[in-house]
Each structure stands twice: as C-alpha cells, then as structure tokens.
C-alpha cells in the first residue's frame, strides 16, 4: 500500500490533557505504509519502544515521558497511595522496554523527580498529574529546540552549498522534530534554498533507504537514493558539495562514532576535497572518553547481512563481520554542528569550549 | 536447502563424445542450492544463457560452443544439406540468447569458421562434428589456461601477502575455471598459503555474497563477508594487505571499468597505503579507448536498489541513481595482472607493451 506523503505528520504527537492519548508513527512499516499508532495505555507505548516502532534516542525519551502520563490514567486523583505505587510500576515497566537506551532512563528519571519534588511540597495529585504532562511536553519541546538550533547553525555554515550527501537516518523520526543531520537540510529548505541530497541506502538495515529517503520525500526535498558503494562515484562526478551525518557518541577530542560506513565517507570526502560534517546535540559528547580508540564497536548478528531481506543471500555458515558503528577521526571532520554552534576545526580545545558554553 | 560444498564441482563440464551432454551449475540458485543442469538439447543451453543460469563473458562463450555441438545432434551424418542448414539455425538461435554478449558471438563465429573451413577441404560430416567438439574444448581449455596464468602471475606478485579483500565476483563461475581475481587466491592456496579474504557483498545484486563467498567456501579458503560500507573499517583495522578485483573493460592508459564500488575501494586503499590490483585477461583491454573518460557508464533499473530482495525497501517514486560500473583511474592501480604478466606501474607505455607481447 502506498501512503500519501504529507509534511504535517509528526513522528510523536500528544493529544488532549492529562487524560489524552499519544500518536506515534509506526516506523517498522515505513516506507511502504504510513500508519499512526494511538497509545491509550502504557502497554502500547512499551510495545512501540520494544518493537522499534519508535526509535532514536531522543524520540524514545519523549515517547516514554508521555507514556508515564498515560500510564497514570488508570489511577484516580483520590487515592494518593495508589498513585505513587503506580508511578513506580509505570516507570519501572517502561525502563524495561529498551534496557540499553540512555535517553529512556534519563526521561523517566526526570518525570519521577518532578513528581517527587511536588509531593514533598504538598501539591495535589491532580496538579502533579498536570505537572507530569507539562514535563513530558518540556522534554519534547527542548528536543525540538535542540533540533531547530542544530538546523540553524548548520544552515548558516553550509549556506553556500546546495548538493549534499547523507548516511543512515539522522532525521525527524529519531527526534521530536527536525532531527540532526536532516535538520540542516530542512532549515536550508525553510530558507528557500533548492537543494539536492544523495541518500546512502545504509546497509545492512537500510535506514537511509527506508527512513531518510521517506523523510526527504515527505518534505519535497529533491533526493536520490544510492547504494553505499556509489557514494565515491557521485563525489567523483562533482555532484556533492558537502556531506552531513549524525553521530551516536563523540569523544572529547572530536572523534565521532556513527553508523558503519560513516568513516568510509569521511575518507572518500577528503580524497575528493569535499567537507564532511557531523550534526549532533551536545548530549552526544562523552567527555569521559579521550579519543575514539576508547569507543567499543558493537558487533551485530550475521543474519542482518546474510538474511537481511527475508531471503538468504549468502552461503550458510559463511563467516560475517558486522560492526554496527565506525569511528571517524576528528581530523577528517570539517565541523561538528551542535545546538550551541559549529565546532570547527575539530580540536580537543574547541570541543571543550563548546561543551562548557551555554 | 543447504548444499554440500565440494571443490570438484566445475561450473561447466561436457560429458562424452559428439553425442554427449553438458552440465552447468544453475547460478541463479546459488548460494542456497547447488543444482546442476544437464543440457541434452540446444534449447536448454539457450535457456541457461538467457536466464543467467550461466553468466560471465568467458563462461557464456564456452557454454554456447558446447551448445553448438549439442544442437547438431538432431541431424544425422548422412544428410549434408540438413547438417549445414541446422548449423545456421543453431548458431543464430544461440546468438539470440544474450544479444549484447560479445564472447557469445566470438565463440559462435569460431565454431562456424572451423566447420566451414573443413567443408571447403572436403571433410566428412562425421569428422566435422568431431572437429566442432574439439573446437569447443579448445575454447574451454584456452580460457582455463588464461585463468591459471593470471593466477600464477598474481600469486607471484602477491606472494608476500595473506590478507585480501575483493569485490563482486571475478571467480570461476564466470569462466572455465579459476576466474581472474579469485584465480590469484586459488593459486596462493595451491601454493600452500593460509590466506583470508574479505568479501564485499556488492550491492545491489550481491554477487560477492551470493557467488564469491560461495566459491571461497567451496574451496575452503577462509573468507569473511562484509557490507560494502565496511571495507574502509577493515582496512583501518589493518586486516587487508592487498585488494584484488576483476575488470570489465580496460582503456589503453590502464583506466579500468569494473562493478560499481571498485573505484571507492581503490580510493580507500590509497588512503590506507594498501595496494589495489586488477586481474583481467588481455581480451579485456580495449585499445581503441584512450582513457576511462570514454567508457560509458551503464545505468540499471531503480528496482535493483528499491526492490532488490523481493521486498520494497524504499519509498515508492523515490529517485534512484544505479550506475552498474565505475572507472578506477590507472594511478590508483598498483598493477594489472594478466595472463602474460603484471603491468606495473600502470602506464600507457607498459599497457601497450604487454598488449603487444605474446
């Protein structure tokens, strides 16, 4: 089934007041179907996170925060003991949906802290419930602002370029709003620029083909899908002025871990004289890590490569190497675009300076 | 169904005399099933070529030559007029199986020429039939010798290395025997070397995952399958000492067209100080082409990328760029391994010298 692409679909949208509902795009059905899941109970939110219907660190945090609001709807305002018992239940339950998602715990902790602080100051259950919804909305709004600020700084830095290439999905689907790398393109479009983006399909899980291509099409940005191995060719053809990707973790010296294939792009960009940018929020920096050498590379299941499309495409028993990430050394990065500004050149000193800035 | 991998399966094998049969591996079923097709009539040979059950320029030529022998089995030795009419029918019919395959026409012309020369010298139909089988076997044997010579020269040049990377399928399945790039690895193994080969899966059609991984497994060479975007990472990890690929067409200056992604590998190899080699027979050189700039890049269907695995993996209507080949400039190639020796460095002068050599 082909869905109609419209620009006004938000990946996460809460409707109503404390008795409201949460709509999520089911990302597992993209790009073939655009289906909204309406969450009326916490179990549906939990399942959406667990089954990757909502994915991307910021988006998971936001969905979980709204999930707390929805989870509290099963208890009334008149039974305080039941309310506090339920709050622990709901937050523990949601925390188990993706046990390695840092943003999930961060958002749940923030929700609990707000409720506990108000309890200590004697606020009514009714008002605490309102405060929880406000907190979830604040988490949502802050992420939206971060995305918009990344987009603004990136669009200023790249105002001279119209032809881009990106990898994986660093878009709105993973966040509240504009995403990180894609925020730069969305903002350039908002500025009236006619741009074109080459989208790496991003093997093995095809986030570029499935999600980034979909997001760009939805916003009517001209985009061309390529296989990862074609990126060098389009660079050689002079059709790329800048490359922008997201990052999963950035060391104190600026070395950046991102989806496998990013390092390849950065090396190819240098060979073709094309600037390579990372776009990521300040929360991506792990200042406890001195350099990329300390970032462990997660290896994923061989089946993602050998059976990635529901069909066996390699001999049974073949040895497979499937690193989920690679690390791009700072010296290959022209700039790191954050919500506070662009770090360029990427040096330990300038990273520290931006991290300390407000 | 998983097949047992054995080293003694040949992609093309003719059994018996002029009334014999031809066995072909059905490459469309690899790597999941190893099935031999026994061709007892020319229609089965035609269909095997048409449906890509046999593929690769040399292999198509060899299969077609044997196809002529089999096609002639429907007429007896006692009716000369029927024999010559049938020869035209069979060769015309086989020529229509893959209308753009140069080796196909070359092999069919060679078969017809032999028959016509013997007719002019008054040879009997019985003996012409024998001569046709001998010619098909000669085409087969010459290709085998070419593969073995490429393997020998490559193994000598790369005797110091044990860790390789290859792209697409330049193996025995496309030829009579050892293939081109894979001939180097097979010969090193014959020399007693314990080697390891990283195999790019080679999007969009996955010839690396489907065919090269299968051939290496069959010969018990240690191999690891990776996605194309992971090649830079394994180079960075110091796990690749040399890269060897095939080529489809080489210009007079050494610029080499090969499967999309080859140019990317050559650029990445240079950045990591790893030598990049092409292995190809002299017949691959097109001396009428001065440089790679004159080689047109074939674009293939978008569906290979968007629906490559029987499932839609990109939004409907997305623009796609799907170049089948790219051109690696001579200056990125450490050497071109041919059946006559290794051209290194790759210069117009040394290409001309090797082309003129015997």
CB-CB under 8 Å, A323 with B230: yes
Is B176 found in the same domain as B98?
A: no
CATH of the domain at B66: 1.20.120.420
Q: Is B207 annotated as a binding residue?
A: yes
Q: Is B259 annotated as a binding residue?
A: yes
Distance from CA of B314 to the nearest CA of A (A): 5
Of B91, B117, B143, the one marking the end of a domain is: B143
Is B275 found in the same domain as B179?
A: yes
pLDDT for residue A8? 62
User: In what helix (H) or strand (E) does residue B351 lie, and over which residues does it extend?
Assistant: helix B348-356
> In chain B, whose CA is at the least distance from the CA of A310?
B309
Is B317 found in the same domain as B214?
A: yes
- Give the ipTM of the model, two decimals please: 0.91
Tokens of A83: 């309310």
pLDDT for residue A351? 98
Distance from CA of A262 to the nearest CA of B (A): 8
Q: Which residues pair with A250 in a beta bridge?
A: A256, A285
Q: How many CA within 13 A on the CB side of residue A52? A: 6
Question: Is A3 within the bounds of a domain?
Answer: no
Question: Is A6 within the bounds of a domain?
Answer: no
Q: Is A207 annotated as a binding residue?
A: yes
Is B297 found in the same domain as B157?
A: yes
Helix axes B57-71, B42-50, angle to 10 degrees: 160
Question: Is A309 within the bounds of a domain?
Answer: yes
In angstroms, what is the C-alpha Rg of chain B? 21
When scoring A6, A202, A264, A298 by the number of chain B Cβ atoms within 10 A, the one with the most, hence best to mutate, is A264
Q: Which residues in chain A are contacts of B312 at CB distance < 8 A?
A: 31-32
Question: Is B1 within the bounds of a domain?
Answer: no
Question: Is B5 within the bounds of a domain?
Answer: no
Q: Is A98 annotated as a binding residue?
A: yes
Q: Which residues in chain B are contacts of A267 at CB distance < 8 A?
A: 232, 267-268, 271
Is A217 found in the same domain as A319?
A: yes
pLDDT in tens, chain A (358 residues): 334 445 567 889 999 999 999 999 999 999 999 999 999 999 999 999 999 899 888 999 999 999 999 999 999 999 999 999 999 999 999 999 987 777 899 999 999 999 999 999 999 999 999 999 999 999 999 999 999 999 999 999 999 999 999 999 999 998 988 999 999 999 999 999 999 999 999 999 999 999 999 999 999 999 999 999 999 999 999 999 999 999 989 999 999 999 999 999 999 999 999 999 999 999 899 999 999 999 888 899 999 999 987 789 999 999 999 999 999 999 999 999 999 999 999 999 999 999 998 7
Of A114, A143, A172, the one marking the end of a domain is: A143
pLDDT for residue B308? 80
Q: Which residues in chain A are contacts of B5 at CB distance < 8 A?
A: 315
pLDDT for residue B102? 78
Work out the end-to-end distance of chain A between its first and last CA atoms, rounded to an integer number of angstroms: 47
Q: Which residues pair with B38 in a beta bridge?
A: B23
Q: How many CA within 13 A on the CB side of residue B4? A: 2
Q: Which residues in chain A are contacts of B204 at CB distance < 8 A?
A: 227
**Domain that includes residue A76, residue range:** 12-143
> In chain B, whose CA is at the least distance from the CA of A220?
B318
Helix axes A102-120, A80-95, angle to 10 degrees: 170
Q: Is B56 annotated as a binding residue?
A: yes
Tokens of B157: 């040049």
User: In what helix (H) or strand (E) does residue A110 lie, and over which residues does it extend?
Assistant: helix A102-120
Question: Is A4 within the bounds of a domain?
Answer: no
Sequential DSSP letters for A220-265: T-EEEEE-GGGHHHHHHTT--SEEEE--SEEETT--EEEETTHHHH
CB-CB under 8 Å, A305 with B310: no
Q: Which residues in chain B are contacts of A223 at CB distance < 8 A?
A: 318-319
CB-CB under 8 Å, B228 with A229: yes
Q: What is residue A176's DSSP assignment?
A: S
Of B143, B159, B185, the one marking the end of a domain is: B143
pLDDT in tens, chain B (358 residues): 334 445 567 889 999 999 999 999 999 999 999 999 999 999 999 999 999 899 888 999 999 999 999 999 999 999 999 999 999 999 999 999 987 777 899 999 999 999 999 999 999 999 999 999 999 999 999 999 999 999 999 999 999 999 999 999 999 998 988 999 999 999 999 999 999 999 999 999 999 999 999 999 999 999 999 999 999 999 999 999 999 999 989 999 999 999 999 999 999 999 999 999 999 999 899 999 999 999 888 899 999 999 987 789 999 999 999 999 999 999 999 999 999 999 999 999 999 999 998 7
Question: Is A287 within the bounds of a domain?
Answer: yes
Q: Which residues pair with A343 in a beta bridge?
A: A336
Tokens of B7: 């080293």
Is B117 found in the same domain as B157?
A: no
When scoring A314, A322, A327 by the number of chain B Cβ atoms within 10 A, the one with the most, hence best to mutate, is A314
The model scores a pTM over 0.90: yes
Is A249 found in the same domain as A201?
A: yes
CB neighbour list of residue B308: distance below 8 Å, 6 or more residues apart: A309, B203, B204, B205, B206
Tokens of B204: 């969009």
CATH of the domain at A211: 3.40.50.10470
When scoring B223, B229, B326, B332 by the number of chain A Cβ atoms within 10 A, the one with the most, hence best to mutate, is B229
Is A200 found in the same domain as A156?
A: yes
> In chain B, whose CA is at the least distance from the CA of A216?
B318
Tokens of B118: 């013997």
Is A322 found in the same domain as A176?
A: yes
Residues in chain A: 358
Is A284 found in the same domain as A251?
A: yes
Choose the catalytic residue: A143, A177, A248, A255: A248
Residues in chain B: 358
Is A19 one of the catalytic residues? no
Is A332 found in the same domain as A219?
A: yes
When scoring B197, B219, B230 by the number of chain A Cβ atoms within 10 A, the one with the most, hence best to mutate, is B230
Is B175 found in the same domain as B313?
A: yes
The answer to whether B292 and B327 are in contact (CB under 8 A) is yes
Q: Which residues in chain B are contacts of A232 at CB distance < 8 A?
A: 261, 263-264, 267, 326
* Separation between Cα atoms, residue A338 and residue A341, nearest integer Å: 5
Q: Which residues in chain A are contacts of B320 at CB distance < 8 A?
A: 224-226
pLDDT for residue A111? 98
CB-CB under 8 Å, B323 with A233: yes
Chain mean position to CA B315: 34
How far, in Å, are A124, B257, B332 from residue B328 at the CA level?
72, 6, 7
CB neighbour list of residue A283: distance below 8 Å, 6 or more residues apart: none
Tokens of A58: 């910021």
* Separation between Cα atoms, residue A223 and residue B329, nearest integer Å: 28
Distance from CA of B340 to the nearest CA of A (A): 31
The answer to whether B237 and B310 are in contact (CB under 8 A) is no
The answer to whether A190 and A178 are in contact (CB under 8 A) is no
Based on the structure, what is the number of domains in chain A? 2
Question: Is A5 within the bounds of a domain?
Answer: no
Q: How many CB pairs under 8 A join A and B?
A: 193
Choose the catalytic residue: B143, B177, B248, B255: B248
> In chain B, whose CA is at the least distance from the CA of A202?
B229
């Amino acid at each position: 089934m082909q869905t109609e692409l419209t620009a006004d679909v938000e990946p996460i949208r809460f409707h109503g007041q404390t008795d409201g509902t949460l709509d999520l795009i089911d990302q597992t059905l993209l790009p073939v179907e655009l289906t909204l899941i309406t969450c009326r109970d916490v179990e549906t939110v939990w399942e959406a996170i667990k089954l990757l219907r909502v994915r991307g660190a910021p988006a998971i945090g936001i969905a979980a925060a709204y999930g707390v609001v929805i989870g509290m709807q099963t208890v009334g305002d008149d039974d305080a003991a039941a309310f506090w018992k339920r709050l622990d239940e709901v937050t523990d339950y949601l925390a188990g949906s993706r046990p390695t998602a840092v943003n999930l715990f961060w958002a749940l902790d923030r929700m609990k802290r707000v409720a506990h602080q108000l309890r200590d100051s004697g606020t009514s259950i009714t008002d605490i419930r309102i405060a929880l919804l406000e907190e979830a909305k604040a988490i949502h709004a802050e992420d939206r602002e971060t995305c918009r600020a990344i987009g603004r700084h990136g669009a200023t830095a790249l105002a001279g370029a119209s032809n881009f290439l990106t990898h994986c999905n660093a878009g709105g689907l993973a966040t509240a709003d504009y995403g990180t790398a894609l925020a730069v393109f969305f903002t350039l479009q908002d500025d009236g620029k006619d741009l074109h983006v080459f989208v790496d399909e991003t093997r093995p899980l095809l986030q570029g083909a499935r999600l980034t291509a979909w997001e760009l099409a939805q916003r009517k940005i001209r985009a061309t899908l390529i296989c990862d191995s074609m990126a060098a060719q389009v660079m050689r053809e002079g059709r790329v002025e800048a490359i922008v990707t997201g990052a999963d973790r950035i060391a104190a010296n600026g070395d950046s871990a991102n989806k496998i294939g990013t390092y390849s792009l950065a090396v190819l960009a240098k060979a073709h004289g094309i600037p390579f940018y990372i776009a990521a929020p300040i929360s991506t920096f792990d200042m406890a890590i001195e350099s990329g050498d300390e970032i462990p590379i997660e290896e994923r299941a061989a089946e993602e490569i050998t059976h990635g499309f529901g069909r066996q495409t390699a001999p049974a028993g073949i040895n497979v190497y499937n690193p989920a990430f690679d690390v791009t050394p700072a010296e290959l990065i022209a700039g790191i675009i954050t919500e506070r500004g662009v770090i360029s050149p990427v040096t330990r000193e300038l990273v520290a300076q931006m991290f300390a800035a407000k």
